[in-house]
A and B are shown apart, each in its own frame.
Chain A
Amino acid sequence: MILITKSALNTAALDRAVSSPKHGAVASFVGTVRSPHAGRVVRGVSYDCFAPLAEKELSRIKAVVEKKWPVRVAVAHRVGHIKVGQASVAISAASPHRAPAFEACRFVIEEIKHRLPIWKKEHYASGPGRWLPGCALKRRA
């Protein structure tokens, strides 16, 4: 399951998508919008996304992680305006044992931060919003 959506994330649906009787471990990671950040009170974050490439890139990340470990992975990233405390990204990884499930979650969130064409603009309690700095994209080898 790969999803880029403007709607609130359903983390239980991600867990269900990867669960099976042979998977004794399901690890989940949920990233939320936080405040304060860098000393400023955040009211929310707007996520912009180049959707066609983002969907393909999420599929590639899923394929890589499922080849690297014995896991089934589901990932969802929310776009549009998100309030503080709401989930922006959710990952579920199921495996026969816990270690690969934890490692897969960590791997996927790091790949998302480096490879997914998504950008966030923080909106503050006072003053103009700001696009946060990020990682320059590179073509996949």
Chain B
Amino acid sequence: MKRKIELYGRLKDAGFGSSLTVEIPKSATAREALAILKPSLRQLLHGCVLATGDEVLSPADKLPSGKLALLPPVCGG
């Protein structure tokens, strides 16, 4: 199924704008989804995690429905 993944921080300079739409199996884990994103984002994917609007996903977590974002290492403050 097609999933829209919001991009943040340095990922917005990757040439895709603020989101990326990719084909991801419905039962995929976060680890599997990151592997699918690897050819598009390459080294920019290093240190990134997937998250919903509620929490960061662990690699073994199944992708939930709803909002999905790809987050690079954070730098607040």
Contacts and interface: CB of A to CB of B under 8 A. Distances in A.
Interface stretch (A11-19, A20-28, A65-73, A111-119): A111-119
Interface stretch (B21-29, B35-43, B66-74): B66-74
A131 B58 CA distance: 25
Contacts, number: 100
Using C-beta atoms within 8 Å of the partner chain, give the interface range for chain A: 20 to 34
Contacts of A114: 74
Contacts of B51: 50, 53, 117, 137
Nearest to A132: B75
A31 B51 CA distance: 27
B53 interface: yes
A135 to B, nearest CB: 5
Contact of B76 (A56, A113, A136, A140): A113
Contacts of B53: 50, 52-53, 56
A114 B8 CA distance: 16
Contacts of B77: 31, 77, 88-89, 109, 112-113, 116, 118
Contact of A133 (B52, B71, B75): B75
Contacts of B47: 136
Interface of B: 6, 8-10, 12-13, 47-49, 51-58, 61, 67, 69, 71-77
Please list the 7 inter-chain residue pairs (A to B) with the smallest Cβ-Cβ separation, ordered nearest first. A119-B9, A134-B75, A52-B53, A118-B76, A134-B73, A131-B10, A116-B76
